[in-house]
Protein backbone atom coordinates (compact mmCIF):
# COMPACT_ATOMS: atom_id res chain seq x y z
CA UNK A 1 0.00 0.00 0.00
CA UNK A 2 1.18 3.52 -0.80
CA UNK A 3 2.26 5.59 2.19
CA UNK A 4 -0.16 8.40 3.07
CA UNK A 5 0.71 11.93 1.90
CA UNK A 6 2.73 14.15 4.26
CA UNK A 7 1.22 17.43 3.08
CA UNK A 8 -2.30 18.48 2.09
CA UNK A 9 -2.61 21.39 -0.36
CA UNK A 10 -6.04 23.02 -0.28
CA UNK A 11 -8.10 25.00 -2.75
CA UNK A 12 -10.65 27.28 -1.01
CA UNK A 13 -13.80 27.96 -3.05
CA UNK A 14 -15.72 24.72 -3.61
CA UNK A 15 -13.24 22.80 -1.39
CA UNK A 16 -13.07 24.31 2.11
CA UNK A 17 -15.66 27.02 1.52
CA UNK A 18 -18.98 27.47 -0.28
CA UNK A 19 -18.56 28.90 -3.76
CA UNK A 20 -21.45 31.25 -2.87
CA UNK A 21 -19.52 32.81 0.05
CA UNK A 22 -17.68 35.26 -2.19
CA UNK A 23 -20.68 36.14 -4.35
CA UNK A 24 -23.42 36.13 -1.69
CA UNK A 25 -21.48 37.36 1.36
CA UNK A 26 -18.20 39.14 0.57
CA UNK A 27 -19.29 41.24 -2.41
CA UNK A 28 -22.63 42.38 -0.91
CA UNK A 29 -20.82 43.18 2.36
CA UNK A 30 -18.36 45.48 0.58
CA UNK A 31 -21.20 47.22 -1.25
CA UNK A 32 -23.26 47.77 1.91
CA UNK A 33 -20.23 48.93 3.94
CA UNK A 34 -18.81 51.28 1.27
CA UNK A 35 -20.27 54.60 2.48
CA UNK A 36 -19.65 53.94 6.17
CA UNK A 37 -16.09 52.88 5.43
CA UNK A 38 -15.33 55.96 3.32
CA UNK A 39 -16.96 58.27 5.91
CA UNK A 40 -14.78 56.77 8.66
CA UNK A 41 -11.54 56.09 6.80
CA UNK A 42 -11.59 58.28 3.66
CA UNK A 43 -8.72 60.41 5.01
CA UNK A 44 -6.45 57.44 5.81
CA UNK A 45 -3.47 57.63 3.40
CA UNK A 46 -4.15 54.18 1.90
CA UNK A 47 -7.83 54.99 1.29
CA UNK A 48 -7.11 58.51 0.02
CA UNK A 49 -4.63 57.05 -2.49
CA UNK A 50 -7.27 54.62 -3.75
CA UNK A 51 -9.82 57.45 -4.09
CA UNK A 52 -7.28 59.47 -6.08
CA UNK A 53 -6.90 56.51 -8.47
CA UNK A 54 -10.70 56.30 -8.78
CA UNK A 55 -10.92 60.03 -9.64
CA UNK A 56 -8.11 59.65 -12.18
CA UNK A 57 -9.99 56.80 -13.89
CA UNK A 58 -13.30 58.71 -14.08
CA UNK A 59 -12.65 62.45 -13.57
CA UNK A 60 -16.18 63.58 -14.44
CA UNK A 61 -17.88 61.35 -11.87
CA UNK A 62 -18.16 61.35 -8.06
CA UNK A 63 -15.72 58.66 -6.88
CA UNK A 64 -18.36 56.92 -4.77
CA UNK A 65 -20.60 56.72 -7.84
CA UNK A 66 -17.68 55.30 -9.85
CA UNK A 67 -17.04 52.67 -7.18
CA UNK A 68 -20.75 51.70 -7.09
CA UNK A 69 -20.83 51.48 -10.88
CA UNK A 70 -17.75 49.24 -10.88
CA UNK A 71 -19.34 47.03 -8.24
CA UNK A 72 -22.50 46.68 -10.32
CA UNK A 73 -20.43 45.90 -13.41
CA UNK A 74 -18.16 43.54 -11.41
CA UNK A 75 -15.26 45.45 -12.97
CA UNK A 76 -11.84 43.88 -12.37
CA UNK A 77 -10.07 47.15 -11.66
CA UNK A 78 -7.29 47.60 -9.13
CA UNK A 79 -8.70 50.54 -7.10
CA UNK A 80 -11.96 48.65 -6.52
CA UNK A 81 -10.18 45.42 -5.62
CA UNK A 82 -7.86 47.26 -3.23
CA UNK A 83 -10.74 49.05 -1.53
CA UNK A 84 -12.81 45.86 -1.23
CA UNK A 85 -9.78 44.23 0.39
CA UNK A 86 -9.58 47.01 3.00
CA UNK A 87 -13.35 46.85 3.68
CA UNK A 88 -13.21 43.05 4.11
CA UNK A 89 -10.21 43.34 6.42
CA UNK A 90 -12.10 45.81 8.62
CA UNK A 91 -15.17 43.54 8.59
CA UNK A 92 -13.20 40.43 9.55
CA UNK A 93 -11.26 42.27 12.25
CA UNK A 94 -14.34 43.67 14.00
CA UNK A 95 -16.32 40.44 13.68
CA UNK A 96 -18.95 41.49 11.11
CA UNK A 97 -17.48 38.94 8.66
CA UNK A 98 -16.47 35.35 9.28
CA UNK A 99 -14.78 33.12 6.74
CA UNK A 100 -17.10 30.30 5.72
CA UNK A 101 -15.86 26.72 6.12
CA UNK A 102 -17.97 23.62 5.56
CA UNK A 103 -18.54 21.89 8.95
CA UNK A 104 -16.31 18.91 8.09
CA UNK A 105 -13.28 21.09 7.28
CA UNK A 106 -11.87 22.51 10.53
CA UNK A 107 -12.15 19.25 12.57
CA UNK A 108 -10.28 17.34 9.86
CA UNK A 109 -7.64 20.05 9.37
CA UNK A 110 -7.00 20.11 13.13
CA UNK A 111 -6.76 16.29 13.27
CA UNK A 112 -4.38 16.22 10.31
CA UNK A 113 -2.23 18.97 11.82
CA UNK A 114 -2.11 17.18 15.22
CA UNK A 115 -0.96 14.03 13.41
CA UNK A 116 1.99 15.94 11.95
CA UNK A 117 0.69 16.51 8.43
CA UNK A 118 1.67 19.80 6.82
CA UNK A 119 -1.15 21.95 5.49
CA UNK A 120 -0.94 24.61 2.78
CA UNK A 121 -3.38 26.72 0.75
CA UNK A 122 -3.35 27.45 -2.98
CA UNK A 123 -6.14 29.77 -4.10
CA UNK A 124 -6.75 32.42 -6.73
CA UNK A 125 -7.70 34.74 -3.85
CA UNK A 126 -4.67 36.72 -2.65
CA UNK A 127 -2.54 35.45 0.23
CA UNK A 128 -3.73 38.32 2.50
CA UNK A 129 -7.36 37.39 1.69
CA UNK A 130 -6.61 33.71 2.45
CA UNK A 131 -5.13 34.66 5.83
CA UNK A 132 -8.18 36.77 6.67
CA UNK A 133 -10.60 33.97 5.77
CA UNK A 134 -8.79 31.32 7.83
CA UNK A 135 -7.81 33.77 10.57
CA UNK A 136 -11.41 34.86 11.17
CA UNK A 137 -13.26 31.69 10.18
CA UNK A 138 -16.49 30.29 11.57
CA UNK A 139 -14.24 27.75 13.36
CA UNK A 140 -11.88 30.36 14.82
CA UNK A 141 -8.32 31.28 13.87
CA UNK A 142 -6.79 28.42 11.86
CA UNK A 143 -3.80 30.29 10.40
CA UNK A 144 -1.40 28.66 12.87
CA UNK A 145 -1.95 25.17 11.44
CA UNK A 146 -0.82 26.15 7.92
CA UNK A 147 2.80 26.10 6.83
CA UNK A 148 2.26 27.79 3.48
CA UNK A 149 -0.09 30.12 1.60
CA UNK A 150 0.16 30.38 -2.20
CA UNK A 151 -1.77 32.48 -4.70
CA UNK A 152 -1.48 33.07 -8.45
CA UNK A 153 1.87 34.81 -7.90
CA UNK A 154 3.28 31.25 -8.38
CA UNK A 155 1.27 30.87 -11.62
CA UNK A 156 -2.20 29.87 -12.78
CA UNK A 157 -4.13 27.07 -11.12
CA UNK A 158 -4.49 25.15 -14.40
CA UNK A 159 -0.73 25.26 -15.08
CA UNK A 160 1.35 22.22 -14.00
CA UNK A 161 4.41 24.43 -13.41
CA UNK A 162 2.57 26.18 -10.55
CA UNK A 163 2.33 22.92 -8.61
CA UNK A 164 6.02 22.13 -9.19
CA UNK A 165 6.85 25.60 -7.83
CA UNK A 166 4.70 25.00 -4.74
CA UNK A 167 6.30 21.57 -4.10
CA UNK A 168 9.74 23.19 -4.34
CA UNK A 169 8.58 25.99 -2.02
CA UNK A 170 7.44 23.41 0.52
CA UNK A 171 10.71 21.43 0.09
CA UNK A 172 8.70 18.27 -0.55
CA UNK A 173 8.64 15.68 -3.33
CA UNK A 174 5.47 16.21 -5.38
CA UNK A 175 4.29 12.63 -4.60
CA UNK A 176 4.04 13.48 -0.89
CA UNK A 177 1.52 16.25 -1.53
CA UNK A 178 -2.22 15.62 -1.88
CA UNK A 179 -4.04 18.46 -3.67
CA UNK A 180 -7.74 18.93 -2.91
CA UNK A 181 -9.89 20.94 -5.33
CA UNK A 182 -13.35 20.94 -6.86
CA UNK A 183 -12.06 21.86 -10.34
CA UNK A 184 -10.93 18.94 -12.54
CA UNK A 185 -8.60 21.08 -14.70
CA UNK A 186 -6.70 22.20 -11.58
CA UNK A 187 -6.40 18.58 -10.47
CA UNK A 188 -5.21 17.58 -13.96
CA UNK A 189 -2.43 20.19 -13.73
CA UNK A 190 -1.43 19.05 -10.23
CA UNK A 191 -1.36 15.41 -11.34
CA UNK A 192 0.81 16.35 -14.33
CA UNK A 193 3.32 17.81 -11.85
CA UNK A 194 3.28 14.54 -9.89
CA UNK A 195 1.01 15.49 -6.98
CA UNK A 196 -1.72 13.19 -5.72
CA UNK A 197 -5.21 14.50 -6.29
CA UNK A 198 -8.73 14.24 -4.91
CA UNK A 199 -11.79 16.07 -6.22
CA UNK A 200 -14.18 17.53 -3.67
CA UNK A 201 -17.65 16.90 -5.06
CA UNK A 202 -19.92 18.89 -2.78
CA UNK A 203 -23.65 18.67 -3.57
CA UNK A 204 -24.24 22.13 -2.07
CA UNK A 205 -21.82 23.65 -4.58
CA UNK A 206 -23.25 21.71 -7.52
CA UNK A 207 -19.86 20.17 -8.37
CA UNK A 208 -19.84 17.56 -11.13
CA UNK A 209 -17.44 14.63 -10.76
CA UNK A 210 -14.85 14.47 -13.53
CA UNK A 211 -14.18 10.74 -13.33
CA UNK A 212 -10.46 11.48 -13.72
CA UNK A 213 -9.54 11.78 -10.02
CA UNK A 214 -10.40 10.22 -6.68
CA UNK A 215 -13.66 11.78 -5.46
CA UNK A 216 -14.83 12.75 -1.97
CA UNK A 217 -18.04 14.41 -0.80
CA UNK A 218 -16.34 15.96 2.24
CA UNK A 219 -13.07 15.94 4.22
CA UNK A 220 -14.08 12.85 6.23
CA UNK A 221 -14.26 10.98 2.93
CA UNK A 222 -10.87 12.42 1.94
CA UNK A 223 -9.44 11.01 5.18
CA UNK A 224 -10.93 7.55 4.53
CA UNK A 225 -9.73 7.44 0.92
CA UNK A 226 -6.20 8.60 1.58
CA UNK A 227 -5.31 6.94 4.89
CA UNK A 228 -5.42 10.18 6.92
CA UNK A 229 -6.48 10.45 10.57
CA UNK A 230 -10.10 11.39 11.23
CA UNK A 231 -11.24 13.77 14.01
CA UNK A 232 -12.53 12.49 17.34
Contact positions toward Mg ion, by CB under 5 A? 11, 13-14, 182
DSSP string computed for 164-196:
HHHHHHTT--GGGEEEEES-HHHHHHHHHTT-E
Whether 16 contacts 128, CB under 8 Å? no
> Smallest gap, in angstroms, from Cβ of residue 147 to Mg ion?
21
Q: Which residue is nearest to Mg ion (CB)?
A: 14
> Smallest gap, in angstroms, from Cβ of residue 210 to Mg ion?
13
> Smallest gap, in angstroms, from Cβ of residue 188 to Mg ion?
14
Q: Which is nearer to Mg ion, 82 or 126 (CB)?
A: 126
Q: Which is nearer to Mg ion, 54 or 189 (CB)?
A: 189
> Smallest gap, in angstroms, from Cβ of residue 94 to Mg ion?
28
Task: Give the separation between CA 117 and CA 196, rounded to whole angstroms.
Answer: 15
Q: Which residues contact 61 (CB under 8 A, 6 or more apart)?
A: 69
Q: Which is nearer to Mg ion, 19 or 50 (CB)?
A: 19
Q: Which is nearer to Mg ion, 61 or 188 (CB)?
A: 188
> Smallest gap, in angstroms, from Cβ of residue 40 to Mg ion?
34
Task: Give the separation between CA 148 and CA 159, rounded to whole angstroms.
Answer: 19
Q: Which is nearer to Mg ion, 11 or 104 (CB)?
A: 11
> Smallest gap, in angstroms, from Cβ of residue 19 to Mg ion?
7
Q: Which is nearer to Mg ion, 54 or 160 (CB)?
A: 160
> Smallest gap, in angstroms, from Cβ of residue 2 to Mg ion?
25
From 102, 90, 88, 70, select the one nearest 22 (Cα to Cα). 88
DSSP string computed for 13-76:
BTTTB-THIIIIIIHHHHHHHHHHHHHHHTTSHHHHHHHHHHHHH-TTS-HHHHHHHHHHHT--
In this structure, the strands spanning 118-122 and 177-181 are: unpaired
Q: Which is nearer to Mg ion, 13 or 104 (CB)?
A: 13
Task: Give the separation between CA 22 and CA 20, rounded to whole angstroms.
Answer: 6
Q: Which residues contact 54 (CB under 8 A, 6 or more apart)?
A: 63, 66, 67, 79, 80
Around 135, how many Cα atoms within 13 Å sit in the side-chain half-sphere? 14
Amino acid sequence: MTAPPTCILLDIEGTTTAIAFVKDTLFPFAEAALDGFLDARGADPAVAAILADVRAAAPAEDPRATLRRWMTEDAKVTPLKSLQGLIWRAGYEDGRLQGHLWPDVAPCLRAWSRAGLRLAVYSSGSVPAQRLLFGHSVAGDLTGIFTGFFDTAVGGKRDAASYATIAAGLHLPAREILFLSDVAEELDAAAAAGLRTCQLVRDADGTRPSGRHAEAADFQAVARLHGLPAPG
